[in-house]
Amino acid sequence: MDSQINEIKSRIDVVEVIGGYVRLQKAGANWRANCPFHNERTPSFMVSPSRQVWRCFGSCGEGGDVFSFLMKIEGIEFVDALKILAQKAGVILKREDPKLKSERRKYCDISEMAAGFFEKNLETAAVGKEAKKYLKERGLKDETIKEFRLGWASESWDELLNFLIAKGYKAADVEKAGLAVKKQNENRWFDRFRGRIIFPIFDLHGQPIGFGGRIFKENADKEAKYLNSPQTFLYDKSKVLYGLNFAKQEIRRREKCVLVEGYMDLIMSHQDGLKHCVAVSGTALTPFQLAILKRYSDNLILAFDMDEAGQKAADRGIDLARNLGFNIRVLILPEGKDPADYALSHPCRLETEAETAKPIMDYYFEKVFNKFKADSAENKKEIAKILLPQIRQIPNQIEQAHWIAELAGRLGVREEVVIGELKRNREGNDVPSEIDEITRETAQKSPNKPREEVFGDHLVSLLLKHNLHFDVIRDFDFSPLKNFTFALALEHFKKSDGEFNYEKIYRDTPDHLKNYLNKIELESQNFEIKDPLLEIKSCFTNLRRHLLDKRMEEIKIILGQAEKSKAHGQDAELMVRFQRLASERQKLEKI
């Protein structure tokens, strides 16, 4: 197994894999990005192509190799990451230990079989054929239906359940996959999806992980129009975007993303040429979904329905996206149509319309002044109450001044009045608390480092970054710092002979120190030093000073304890040692 893992690593570029999830930018010999595992505005996530490792130097502090990255970002186990990377590397895994078959793989297999079952029903079942005819009347082409793997769930209470049981799965497993429901107080199950057109929901690799079902025919007026998979081992609706597996490359290429509300909106948009489009999945837009989108682009176009519910969803999406640093526009289609209906009635026009999306302030002004006429004091107050919080959130002062002037002109008041009200009214200035969920879930504050560790880590990074000869550290005694990893690394460095050769040093470094060196090497890319030798001298001085302070403090404690216990046998010796340390400390102050 180890040989296969090493072969995969040798064929896989960690930069290429991580670049499929995160927008990387060159930073010296390495690559940098905003960390995908916690919310941040300043990039602290580094990837080293030479070491084939990654690390976040922000609040979450995560790091590792290509396997650990894939496991964390996909929420999968090692066995699943191994299979994905083996396929990508073209490595055939020789055999799989049945004990290693993960829970996730079991539910992936169930979901895949269910998707195939539903697909076949759409093509062969009598009512399934009617459902397909309906989809084609809605404008979907055969190739689109096949691409998105649309299917049909019959009216039967247990057709899918029996199919999966025949394949060797237990009813309880089908339930855990979100495809069956257990009857209360009975040891019996029935199919969750019945009499519905099925929309498989995929992960980033195209693996079905959940399903959405649209009611069809008889029960159309009795049941909910849409039914979605519940929360399962595979599917967390708050963190999944429908269609992202199809759109991710195009979003990165176009440097923008169009966000729609429903399955049909998404599918018709893709068919119409709007390939950089995704949809929310069975829930209102969440901060987690936006955080995922931000890995691909900072530019977001909201194309929600323009009914009352759609406008509320758009407003909420704007607030969330703005606080995550997106550049936002709003697409309002002619005649108030949703993207699916517009694509059907105006083929090949959606992409052109998307280019006309309004900046958010244009959207807000148009919406508010359509609702209220500025012909009374009460209406003017309502208009200002809605628009002032939006103006306040504009970071650029010139742009903010423009909208202050625009609002003053439309209300028929002086700009000073609007500015005064803007300063007085602080409502709407708080960041929505939901944004904090990302940080709470993915980031834990690291404890403060001891001072000697700060100096020591900096010293190691200087040596690595500037390829300095280790003679500069040979005379320093690191033994009092042996509890710190940096001291162990420096003691290891001192054993090196000849010129600096990082590859040889790294190869000869004990495994328990390699992760530390990877971390420090990446961290060294975050700073530039004009005079490395002078900086190293400063590090040594600070380390000596700190060690002397600690030793002097220890002697003070011993002398204090001796005073309390009246045991003064070693006082003279301790005082001499203290004076010697104090004298050495004083010399350091002159350096």
Residues 496 and 534 in one domain: yes
Cβ distance 157 to 190 under 8 Å? yes
Of 72, 100, 128, which residue sits at a domain end? 100
How many other CB atoms are found less than 10 A from the CB of residue 542? 18
Residues 123 and 225 in one domain: yes
Nearest CA-CA partner of 57 in 394, 518, 415, 381:
518
Q: Hunting for tokens 């429901």 — which residue is that? A: 181
For residue 591, what pLDDT is reported? 56
388 has pLDDT over 90: yes
Residues 108 and 229 in one domain: yes
385 beta partners: none
* Phi, psi dihedral angles at 195 (to 5 degrees): 65, 40
Residues 107 and 224 in one domain: yes
Of 442, 461, 493, which residue sits at a domain end? 442
Of 421, 442, 463, which residue sits at a domain end? 442
Instruction: Print the domain residue range for 324.
Output: 239-363
pLDDT band at 49 (very low <50, low <70, confident <90, very high): confident
CATH number at residue 158: 3.90.980.10
Residues 461 and 515 in one domain: yes
Average of pLDDT values for 370-396?
90
For residue 434, what pLDDT is reported? 43
> Which residue has better confidence, 586 or 469?
586
CATH number at residue 16: 3.90.580.10
Element (H, E) at 30: strand 30-33
* Phi, psi dihedral angles at 197 (to 5 degrees): -75, 130
Residues 543 and 473 in one domain: yes
Query: Taking the mean position of all CA atoms in its chain, how far away is CA 465?
Result: 29
Kindly report, residue by residue over 222-273, the tens digit of the pLDDT: 678 899 999 998 999 988 999 999 999 899 889 899 999 999 999 999 999 9
Residues 486 and 585 in one domain: yes
Mean pLDDT of the chain: 83
> What is the C-alpha radius of gyration for the chain, rounded to an integer number of angstroms?
31
Q: Hunting for tokens 């407003």 — which residue is that? A: 315
Q: Can you tell me the distance from the alpha carbon of 49 to that of 451, in angstroms, rounded to the nearest whole number?
A: 31
Extended strands (E) in 331-484: 358-359
CATH number at residue 248: 3.40.1360.10
Q: Can you tell me the distance from the alpha carbon of 287 to that of 298, in angstroms, rounded to the nearest whole number?
A: 14
How many other CB atoms are found less than 10 A from the CB of residue 202? 20
Residues 455 and 585 in one domain: yes
Residues 128 and 219 in one domain: yes
Residues 421 and 474 in one domain: no
453 has pLDDT over 50: yes
Residues 391 and 421 in one domain: yes
Q: Which DSSP letter does residue 298 get? A: S
When divided into structural domains, the chain yields a total of 5
What is the value of pTM for the model shown?
0.66
Cβ distance 234 to 104 under 8 Å? yes
Residues 396 and 313 in one domain: no
